[in-house]
Amino acid sequence: MQVHRVVHLDDLHDSVPLRVVLDGQAICLTKIDGEPHAISDVCPHNGASLSEGVIRDGCVICPSHLWRFSFHDGEKQGSHDVRVQVYGTRLTAEQWVEVEVPERAPERSLREVLLAHARGEVLG
Ligand code: FES
């Protein structure tokens, strides 16, 4: 887990998305009711950048096909099966926003993926 200091809270505007890339992961960051929130910036439907969408009622609306994702649990509205990753956020005493970015599993080769599949492993 890496913690990144990203922006001062005063520079993060309420319900306005900010795209940041941390450790190669695109993240959609915003402030809701004075608190920072962060989710993946990549829409699981077709890969659109969620930070180009509009935020309403604690959700970002994807600009491509209008799916809505909650900043609180990452869940697509109306579907419990589809969600985006939620990143932990925190404020320093000086009101800097920090985002917790988990380390990604190393990429597997095609051979490793096929062998894991043959062993019946669930691939993520
Ligand atoms: S790409 Fe986001 S809803 Fe289609």
pLDDT digits (tens, 9 = 90+) for 72-97: 999 999 998 999 999 999 999 999 99
- For residue 122, the model assigns a pLDDT of 61
| Single-letter code of the amino acid located at 39 | I
All domains of the chain in start order, with CATH: 2-118 (2.102.10.10)
pLDDT in the model for residue 107 = 76
Q: 61 C-alpha to center of ligand 1: Å?
A: 9
- pLDDT score for 103: 86
Question: If the chain, 124 residues long, is cut into consecutive pieces of 10 residues, what is the mean pLDDT of each piece?
Answer: 96 95 96 96 96 97 97 95 96 97 82 85 62
Question: What DSSP assignment string belongs to 35-67?
Answer: EEEEEESB-TTT--BGGGSEEETTEEEPTTT--
CA 59 to ligand 1 center in whole angstroms: 14
Per-residue model confidence (pLDDT) at position 124: 52
What local confidence, expressed as pLDDT, does residue 123 receive? 60
For residues 89-105, one letter each, b for 16 or more C-beta atoms within 10 angstroms of the residue's C-beta and e for the rest, the string is beeeeeebbbbebeeee
- Amino acid (one-letter) located at 101: V
Indicate which atom in ligand 1 lies nearest the CA of residue 43: 2
pLDDT of 116 reads 83
